[in-house]
Copies of this chain bind each other. A is one copy, B any other.
């Protein structure tokens, strides 16, 4: 699948191998610093060809295979764009061009400190006042939070009986008064990515900042996650492949031939192959606008577990050699795959719900 992009894949991999050297990866990992120059460099590759999501998928996979911290940093400044693309007004869609061109960094502000994956119960409010909305509240674990120029933000615009009603999405300019971002440090992995806690203190939003219709925010965000999850699956796949590269490199260099290690190689390889097929297959439905959310959730949950499994296996097989920074970094990067964009637990409920409904 996606063989037609083999050339593009090669091109991306070459870029990654050239730019994501061990030194660069280590530097931004240690310093917890966002590599903005790599974002700019990468733009020339057409990584964000929104007309061609398959290319995005492949870019994510190949770049995360080399280093997930840098790979995600480079492919995530467009995070949230699908919300605007699908539900935004013409001006907002036009604005996206500035995101794609690299002028602006975008982000998505949904998760809150009290909620985790529980989107329906967010507490941030956008209270209507004349033709304005006054935004108050806070957000947690927001990728690009402290570097984004704009954020797609989910807030409560009215109280309804059902908590997932009454939510709306806005395009927030982070230069506005009342916006504060507190960069969070001390992450286990993907430390080159920027993560922040946000507070909104009486930020004045105009009605033009509203995305789509008022009260439909929950639906927009769920639609978005059903798309974005496939990219998380690709991150997980890439990390697993990167871990496997390290295993093979080590086994070949040290001429390891013992049968137990051969079995481990077969097990990891089989799991990665299954991850790849689950991911590509779910993506192919999604990309022809016939999404099958249970397949996407399967791919995401399985890929997350595969990333962790493969990286742990790399550590174990390499033994003391796993302490080498370029291997242990993979291990540290992998864990988040089971957590963000819906924990594996949430995915499993999605899967079983769809199955019991009768697909």
Q: Which residues of A contact B (CB under 8 A)?
A: 248, 251-252, 259, 262-263, 265-267, 269-270, 273-275, 277-278, 281, 294-295, 298, 301-302, 345, 347-349, 351-353, 355-356
Contacts and interface: CB of A to CB of B under 8 A. Distances in A.
A351 B301 contact: no
Q: What number of copies of this chain does the assembly contain?
A: 2
A93 to B, nearest CB: 35
A262 B348 contact: yes
Nearest to A345: B263
A116 to B, nearest CB: 16
Prevailing SS type, chain A contact patch: helix
Nearest to A256: B356
B266 A352 contact: yes
A265 to B, nearest CB: 4
A278 B273 contact: yes
Contacts of A348: 262-263, 266-267
Given A266-B349, A266-B351, A278-B273, A252 B356 contact: yes
Contacts of A351: 265-266, 269-270
A298 B273 contact: yes
Contacts of A248: 355-356
A258 to B, nearest CB: 11
A302 B270 CA distance: 8
A1 B349 CA distance: 26
